[in-house]
Amino acid sequence: MNAPHSCIIIGAGISGLIAAAHLKRHHVDVLLLDKGRHHGGRMATRTIDKSIFDHGAQFVTTRDPIFREMVEGWMERGIARPWYKGPLGNMRYVGVNGMSTIPRELGQDLNVHLSEKVTKIRFNNGKWTVTARKYGENKDSSYKADCLVITAPVPQALALLQTSNIQIDFDEEEELERITYFRAISVMAQLNGPAGLSNPGAMDLNHPVLRWIGDNSAKSVSPIPGSVSITSSPQFAERYWDASDEERIPLLLNAAKPFLKNDVVDAVAHRWGFTEPKRIYKEKQPFRKTYFLDEEHHLGMCGDGFGGPRIEASAMSGYALAQALTRPM
């Protein structure tokens, strides 16, 4: 058993990182555990040979003044920069050298254990015990804390709660069970020349097969011209979720062909089981909270299932939960 912490956060995506930073500012001793090899969850950047692809979230937008201030801070630190204005005239910001730069840098100031998957949680005598297994190892680690925050997409959070010995309020559980997500298949394709997409090198698409095409070299993420990220529509993902890459990659590349000037020389696919929530926590309720908090068990949940389907809303959900946790009782 490791030394006890005040709070354990499951997930070092943007909501977990923002929550942790706020808790740390209030002198809370926080440990973040993430099953992924990198910080950031869905803010993901991947290198294949020398090509670099943002293959999850593509950009950050800001509406809330508090979040705008955070993004301005990231720009001052040199980890984010403006990219271009979207169709509604709002600026789209990106991570410098890729979206994952932002969570990776935010994680530097925090106690984060990567490649550690939480498999079981228990609440006894006012304390949480979290069991986790490090990637590639066959023994478990145990961590103790007074408070537990789960930031995994809600269906995964509920699956973890099933391993615990606590029962949350029945109505709350029913509400949480209603939060489901869209899926997507993304393809990272290297062309044998520039993509030829007009400035800024990216397109939101309302297409039966495609949702997004973006040229990572035009975005100054990839040093190789023609490193293209393609994100499928939710309908395509549903239909081809269990198909082989041999079947679905050519279908996606074929749909993307009219938008691209050069030929594909290499392509790799990734399945995203959770892109954005179809419905969020207490969606229809006025003055709803953008997080879940069970004070009896010192259990919180946050992320896009509570805040809304964007990086900003996930980050603000983490921030709001951390504020609630640090508020004097």
Ligand X SMILES: Cc1cc2nc3c(=O)[nH]c(=O)nc-3n(C[C@H](O)[C@H](O)[C@H](O)COP(=O)(O)OP(=O)(O)OC[C@H]3O[C@@H](n4cnc5c(N)ncnc54)[C@H](O)[C@@H]3O)c2cc1C
Residues that bind ligand X (CB under 6 A): 10-16, 33-36, 41-43, 56-60, 117-118, 151-153, 156, 160, 184, 186, 231, 272, 275-276, 303-304, 309-311, 314
CB of 329 to ligand X, least distance (A): 26
Please return the burial class of 258, using the count of CB atoms within 10 Å of its CB with bins 0-12, 13-18 and 19+: exposed
Contacts of 29 (CB under 8 A, 6+ apart): 5, 6, 7
CB of 185 to ligand X, least distance (A): 9
CB of 230 to ligand X, least distance (A): 10
Q: Which is nearer to ligand X, 262 or 271 (CB)?
A: 271
The closest of 117, 115, 122 to 161, measured between CA atoms, is: 122
Q: Which is nearer to ligand X, 57 or 71 (CB)?
A: 57
Kindly report the number of other CB atoms within 10 A of residue 36's CB atom: 17
CB of 264 to ligand X, least distance (A): 19
CB of 311 to ligand X, least distance (A): 4
The answer to whether 165 and 151 are in contact (CB under 8 A) is no
Q: Which is nearer to ligand X, 36 or 196 (CB)?
A: 36
User: What are the C-alpha distances in Å from 199 to residues 5, 206, 218, 220, 253?
Assistant: 49, 18, 8, 13, 21
Q: Which is nearer to ligand X, 11 or 226 (CB)?
A: 11
CA angle 233, 236, 238 (to 5 degrees): 110
The answer to whether 167 and 297 are in contact (CB under 8 A) is no
123 sits in which H/E element: strand 116-124
> To which residue do tokens 């950050």 refer?
60
Task: Supply 28's token pair.
Answer: 């809370």
Q: Which is nearer to ligand X, 14 or 249 (CB)?
A: 14
CB of 312 to ligand X, least distance (A): 6
Q: Which is nearer to ligand X, 187 or 260 (CB)?
A: 187
Q: Which is nearer to ligand X, 123 or 262 (CB)?
A: 123
The answer to whether 104 and 34 are in contact (CB under 8 A) is no
Q: Which is nearer to ligand X, 270 or 297 (CB)?
A: 270
The closest of 312, 324, 291, 265 to 63, measured between CA atoms, is: 312
CB of 318 to ligand X, least distance (A): 7
CB of 63 to ligand X, least distance (A): 11
The closest of 61, 32, 81, 11 to 316, measured between CA atoms, is: 61
* Peptide linkage before 309 cis (omega within 30 of 0): no
Position 242: which residue type? D
